Amino acid sequence: MMKVTVTTLNAKYIHTSLALRYLKAYCQSDFEVNIAEYTIKDPVMNVVADLFQRRPDVIGFSCYIWNIEETIEIITMLKKVMPEVAIVLGGPEVSYDVEYWMDRLPEVDFIVVGEGEATFHHLLTEITGDRKYHYVFGAAYRKDGKTIINPPRPKLDLNDIPSPFRFAEDLPGLANRVTYFETSRGCPFSCQFCLSSIEVGVRYFDIERTKTELLFLIESGAKLIKFVDRTFNIKRDYAMEIFQFLIENHSGCVFQFEITADIMRPEVLDYLAEHAPPGIFRFEIGVQSTNDETNELVKRKQNFTKLTRTVTKIKESGKIDQHLDLIAGLPEENYDSFRKTFNDVFALEPEELQLGFLKMLRGTGVRRDAAKYNYIYMDQAPYEILGNNVLPFSDIVRIKRVEDVLEKYWNAHRMDTTVEYLIKHEFASAFDFFQEFGDFWEERGWSRIGHQLEDLFIRLHDFLRIRETDHPDIIEGLMKYDYFLNYKYKPRKTWWHYTMEKGEQSRIIKAIAHRPDLLGEDFRKLSLDEKQLHKHTMLEILPFDLKQYLQTGTLVTETGTLLLMYYNPDENDKALAYMGPWESFNPVQA
């Protein structure tokens, strides 16, 4: 039997390719199909050597913008050492401008365009049979030195595709890798920067099949399932039934969805707020821009008022983390307009705000209309923009600095309390904080060197000191609090010069052991003796009432705080903070 290997380069080891598993499931009854997954960081020689040792007759590569250039290197080398092997490409990156890819890559024998399961199976049948490739709808091939592109293949009935999740070799690693899952294919929207807008209509897997597959994955040990549906909640009844099913059967598994927030029904939000266990759902919401003209130009329908209502209601429930996306560089969105978009969305306080840059994907409307807006962009993947008629390269570089510090200081959640204070009290807006700080990073050359946790605190402190930001004592106090919260175990060092003398520390610990109620009833219940306090706690004195600030946002400087951080040796969790009035432990008043 002909040996077939389907392969791809994932962005990270923890990722898995759903496409490869669909291909194997659809073809394995007639062909010997094996899956080989690598990452874009793997040395080319190692990948080629591994594929060579497998001795396949056909190798199919799943191609995306993040792996195409690395894949080309592998194909070029592979064809030199295995000239007889048939090379097949598929995936979104090669499904458009097919003739370009066939011309650029003479090592490639076939390209499968679009939905691949039935086309790949038919192609394998012809490779082993009469080789009548003109019958293989949805494929491109070579004949007499010319590229032939066949007509597209009709869309599959999704329920005809066998399960991609039943391979025994996948089950042991489910807990340690991301499982990708889809309940539908297609998107109802027409956003001109997205490939999903090209496919007309939305098709669904049978909902009972979907439930069966999800339950199998959960029971087999999956810990994170990412739904790849472009708009999971477009079919309201279907989405609601899946939400209910997962709430009833989650067993601690986490589920991530891409949703369209402005069409989310209030009754769905109410149900999730009441019934969803905290932390099992994550929502990814593509906002992209709040500029109405820009959204209209890219045919993006969005009601930001309704979106805000949904995001706010989800946040107030405290049940679901939200990841909101922005795209810099969309038509007619200049630097000032993007600053407004950023601030509009940051004000919603998402757990993560992803700042991306427009990519001129092959097949999309924005790429087709690039000349209209004077777009310049990278010739090769990921085709990221370098400028347009209202956003020059100089502004893109500035926004890149915002992205850099946003990732380090907000999305990583290393010092939320401090950043929120700075944005509210010390900077004109969130965008201005990240921009000023990003410019400072660039001036110091810090983006080109490594950094540890304490380095991030020191660099923020240096930036604020040199900038002569107001209220340094308040900011330093909040930074110390945030630093302590980053650790599950008692830190061995601090980013500031820890000045409390051992004698003073011992005196305070003795006072705490004598009057634990001054740090609250919860702390008193811990019943820690002096030895345990010395071993598992950190102390710091802050020149303001931290508890009052955390609870109300009001700064009271007339009262200081004794901050005690307890690192519980019996629980693998973050530190617990206890606060009492410093005056109660002050030797002047003791």
The answer to whether residues 190 and 294 belong to one domain is yes
| pLDDT level of residue 371 (50, 70, 90 thresholds) | very high
8-state DSSP, 198: G
Instruction: Note whether 277 and 353 are same-domain residues.
Output: yes
Question: Which residues is 268 bridged to in the sheet?
Answer: none
Q: Is the predicted pLDDT of residue 162 greater than 60, yes or no? A: yes
CA distance 510 to 590: 12
Q: Indicate if 274 and 202 belong to the same structural domain.
A: yes
Are both 29 and 85 inside the same structural domain?
yes
- 547 with 514, same domain? yes
Whether 102 is covered by a domain: the verdict is yes
In a domain, 520, yes or no: yes
- The residue among 359, 377, 363, 360 whose CA lies nearest residue 95 is 363
Task: Give the span between the Cα atoms of 19 and 117, in whole angstroms.
Answer: 9
Choose among 244, 192, 245, 197: nearest CA to 218: 245
CATH of the domain at 260: 3.80.30.20
Tell me which H or E stretch contains 328.
strand 321-328
* pLDDT of 221 over the 90 cut: yes
Residue 418 lies in a domain: no
Count the domains in the chain: 3
Provide mean pLDDT across the span 346-370: 96
Q: Does the structure show a pLDDT above 90 at 502?
A: no
* Same-domain pairing of 308 and 179: yes
The CATH number of whichever domain residue 43 belongs to comes to 3.40.50.280
Backbone torsions φ then ψ of 438, nearest 5 degrees: -60, -40
Residues 212 and 333 reside in one and the same domain: yes
pTM: 0.93
pLDDT higher than threshold 50 for residue 590: no
Instruction: Name the residue range of residue 240's domain.
Output: 165-391
My answer on whether 58 and 91 are in the same domain is yes
Give the confidence band of 588 by pLDDT, cuts at 50, 70, 90.
Answer: low
Residue 573 maps to a domain: yes
In this predicted structure, what is the pLDDT of residue 589? 47
CA–CA separation, 526 and 221 (whole Å): 35
Bridge partner list, 563: 540, 579
Average per-residue pLDDT for the chain: 95
User: What's the pLDDT score for residue 503?
Assistant: 84
**Listed residues 370, 391, 412: the one ending a domain:** 391
In the predicted model, what is the mean pLDDT of residues 10-36? 97
Q: What is the largest CA-CA distance in the chain?
A: 97
CA distance 421 to 442: 23
What sections of 518-561 are H helices per DSSP? 521-524, 530-536, 546-552
Q: Which of 120, 149, 178 is the last residue of a domain?
A: 149
Euclidean distance between the first and the last CA atom of the chain, given in angstroms as a whole number: 87
Strand pairing of 58-62 and 86-90? parallel
Point out the least confidently predicted range of 118-127, 198-207, 390-399, 452-461. Answer: 198-207
Per-residue pLDDT, 1: 80
- The residues pairing with 284 across neighbouring beta strands, listed in sequence order, are 258, 323
Tokens of 397: 């570089």
Q: Read off the pLDDT of each residue in 86-115 and give the average, rounded to a whole number.
A: 97
In a domain, 274, yes or no: yes
Question: What mean pLDDT comes out for the span 304-317?
Answer: 96
Q: Is residue 402 part of a domain?
A: no
Q: Quick one: pLDDT band at residue 587, thresholds 50, 70, 90?
A: low
- Asked which of 48-62, 107-121, 511-525 is least confident by mean pLDDT, the reply is 511-525
If asked whether residues 201 and 144 sit together in one domain, one would say no
Distance, in Å, from the CA atom of 538 to the CA atom of 540, rounded to the nearest integer, reads 7
Tokens, residue 355? 């700042």
Which of 88-92, 124-128, 358-362, 566-570 has the least mean pLDDT? Answer: 566-570
Q: Is the pLDDT of residue 200 over 90?
A: no
- Work out the average pLDDT over 486-501: 87
Q: Considering the domain boundaries, does residue 478 fall inside one?
A: no
**Which of helix, strand or coil describes residue 42?**
coil
Assigned domain for 231 exists = yes
**What CA–CA distance (Å, rounded) separates 216 from 164?**
12
Instruction: Say if residue 443's pLDDT is above 80.
Output: yes
Nearest Cα residue to 429 out of 345, 358, 355: 345
Where do we find the tokens 């209030």? 266
Shared domain check, 508 and 541: yes
Question: In which band, very low, low, confident or very high, does the pLDDT at 572 lie, cut at 50, 70 and 90?
Answer: low
Last-in-domain residue among 391, 406, 434? 391
Q: Are residues 329 and 363 in the same domain?
A: yes
Integer CA distances (angstroms), 249 to 155, 173, 178, 218, in order: 32, 20, 18, 8
Portion of the chain with pLDDT greater than 90, in percent: 92
Which 3 state secondary structure label does DSSP give 56?
Answer: coil
Amino acid identity of residue 418, one-letter, is T
Verify that 286 and 340 share a domain, yes or no. yes
Average the pLDDT over 248-265 and give the result: 96
